[in-house]
Copies of this chain bind each other. A is one copy, B any other.
Amino acid sequence: MKKIFVVGLGPGELSQTTGRALDALRESQVIAGYTVYVDLIKDQFADKELISTAMKKEADRCNLAVDQAVLGKTVSMVCSGDAGVYGMAGLMYEILHARDLEQDIEIEVIPGITAACSGAAVLGAPLIHDFTVISLSDLLTPWELIEKRLECAAVGDFAICLYNPSSVKRHDYLQKACDILLKHRAAENVAGYVQNIGREGEVGVVMDLKTLRDTKVDMFTTVFIGNSQTKNFHGKMVTPRGYREVQEKVDE
């Protein structure tokens, strides 16, 4: 059966990629992806045919990859982070379905470290307990639904990780999101953000929710809001495993 790997590279450098993901790239004749990610790996996989397309051309990219698989070539579609979290795995299945090729081509999704996990590691341990991941991009999702999810995440006292917190067109979305959260959470609720995870210029900052509201972040930023129990230990954001006190845990 013909095969497409959809491969999560993790954040930044290939040291953050799993052996299984690297094996899939080695096995492939064609590597497809967004220009920036293909550039990251092209030196190490110089013998491969490369297909890269610009941002927002995801469907074109999938179709080109499928075209190569139809010809009998093994193809890897690469994504930063995890292929299954705002990644290409879903669209690849959708396009295979739309083209009625599910019986001819097998998709194997190879997971990678998503920004929720890699960013959390930079800040400390904000996502130790139940959490939600929400994208603030309203390109394909109505803003009203994003607001509703923020509201639900706030009421449920989830730790929250926000992807795509800002862009040129959406410069005030993080502020709007924090205003929704602040209806249900204290101004002192621990929060933080990480820029350029796993890349040059990686910076993690821990603050409170009120301060986050008035902070400008860029599109290379992942934002974290703790639950009501999250602590700021000397600049590290630490969510307890549960709702008992630490002393009980130390003594258990």
Contacts and interface: CB of A to CB of B under 8 A. Distances in A.
Contacts of A118: 111
A190 interface: no
A8 B121 CA distance: 10
Contact of A130 (B87, B132, B247): B132
Contacts of A17: 18-19
Contact of A91 (B16, B90, B249): B249
Interface stretch (A29-37, A142-150, A174-182, A208-216): A142-150
Contacts of A86: 128-129, 241
Q: How many copies does the complex hold?
A: 2
Given A86-B128, A132-B132, A18 B93 contact: no
A243 B144 CA distance: 12
B82 A117 contact: yes
A225 interface: no
A114 interface: yes
Contact of A90 (B63, B93, B102, B238): B238
Contacts of A158: 132, 149, 152
A186 interface: no
A243 B59 contact: no
Nearest to A87: B128
Interface string A219-252: 0000000000001011010111111101101111
A215 to B, nearest CB: 22
B15 A85 contact: no
A241 B90 contact: yes
B241 A127 contact: no
Interface stretch (A41-49, A69-77, A133-141): A133-141
Given A90-B128, A90-B239, A149-B156, 16 more contacts: A15-B23, A18-B113, A84-B127, A86-B128, A90-B129, A94-B240, A94-B246, A95-B246, A97-B246, A98-B250, A109-B124, A111-B118, A130-B132, A130-B133, A141-B242, A149-B157
Please name the 7 residue pairs, one residue from A and one from B, whose CB atoms are nearest each other, closest first. A140-B242, A152-B156, A90-B128, A90-B125, A109-B121, A89-B125, A152-B152
